[in-house]
Structure 1
Amino acid sequence: MKPYIEFKAQRDLGQIITDTFNFIRNEFKPFFGLILQVVLPYLLVMFAALAFYFYTVGDLSNLITNDTLFSGETPTLIAMFSTVLILIITGVIAYVLAHSTALYYIKSYVENGGVVNTSQVKDDVKNSFWNFVGLGVLVGIVLGFGFALCVIPGVYMLVPLSLSFSLMVFKSQSVTDAFSNSFSFIKNEWWISFLTIVVVAIIVGVIGSIFSVPAAIYSLLKMGIFSGESDPAAQITMFQDPVYIILNVLSYALKYFLNFISIIAGVFIYFNINEKKNFSGTFDRIDSLGKTE
């Protein structure tokens, strides 16, 4: 039997990171299995568009090299912009659905003592899609202005706004309430939350860079860097190399799933702060002890 991980508890930075990976290890198959059930069609289209994008970049490079970019011989630019549009749309949908599925999975996990009601999770994801889109757009606009102003306001707002999605899900708040309440929710807990987010981001970044190594090594081999015989023409055709495209798409796919480390860690940060402020987990445990007696 899988050990149950209590989310409603106070944790320090090390415990948050440890329990994040413990949760992934314990729930790996059902967690990612449900996410794939929800987002797989959009992921397939997104990765297909990504592969075609790499190919069109190579085709575009050939046209620039041959000075035939505006000759009208091929609709390369149209194909490229269309691919980028499809990539953006499917990417947004895939991320929104994955984010909401992860949060509602954990919500069901917490409410049912480790047993997840998958049909309920799917219904919640379906019903909350536009709320996640709306909150995501709102957070994106505010953070964009914050970083554009002087970086520091953006860094400050990043911490509470990253928890606004958890407020919307676990407290069943509206988009505007989750957005506004996130600032008061993070009060007196900003620094430790910021430090945790930074450490998790470093871990995810390091792992993600490892996933990029195969494509980087292959490109260097293809261009003859290691042999000392660099081939400039190979740089142009690299984006149309099937092996290079596959390695890059695979790298992006693995990095996509790395995002769940940050999402799950964010949930632990939320419950850590909520427990310090409201003692909800403590009261639940006292109540359960009273019932057993």
Structure 2
Amino acid sequence: MSGTAQDRVADQIRRAIEAGEYPAGGSLPSGEKLAEQYGVHRNTAQKAVRQLAGEGYLTLTRRHAPKVRERPRHLTLVRDRSVYRDDLGYFFDRNAQDWRAVGTPTRGVVVPPEHVSDLLGVPRGQDVFVRDRKMGPPGADTALQVATSYLSMALVAEIPALGAEKTGPGGIYDRLEEHFECALEWHETISARQPTPEEQAALRVPALSPVLVVTREARIQRDEDIVVAEVNETRMSAAQFAVSYAVRRDASAVWPRGEGAA
């Protein structure tokens, strides 16, 4: 158990939440009662509560008792290094196949993060075209994922459908494959960071609760080169989602091992 009184109390409340003693949607006892229950000063109990709010266990609202947040681990995001297709086009998450936009998708022109500029091969500080959408299960009023597609202005000028309000059947990926007459390939990088204020509002996550960021490059052959036609960044609460994938054997790890193998 952690050494400080604050950490000790946070550990005990965390375990109580995970054991269901404080059910999701319910409230914690007052700071005074928590201090008495765990044998600490009220300030220590309040600091432990703020710590758990930062971890995504609690929602704090002024003049109200801390609320226990839903932590639906069953919504694990399974990424098995495959791309799928249905009547609507390509999709990457089997458990999110039926998800739809929460609210109205937006599009516009922005200066992207520097790493996105580098991936797209455009100068840092230069405008690119973006398509933003918030996604969730049917009937959801809160997004579980926020996705942003970045495209170079030159490519949008070359393929106007990429910037249109309605991109047509199959979306931008079908338009890219039709234009270049070859198949897209994708490469993903998964990282974690603190949410931006916009992500906090869209996903309803605390400022100190990390988000997972899946950065996906859509690559396609142009003449003799492979270029990144689009960069998509999908963000989701790390408190609600995990990443799971199959570990496949390389040829060097084949079984049964041949004679003389270590």
Normalised-by-shorter TM-score class = under 0.3
TM-score, structure 1 as length reference = 0.24
- Name which structure has the greater RCO, CA cutoff 8 Å, separation 6+: 1
Write 1 or 2 for the structure with the bigger share of helix: 1
TM-score, structure 2 as length reference = 0.26
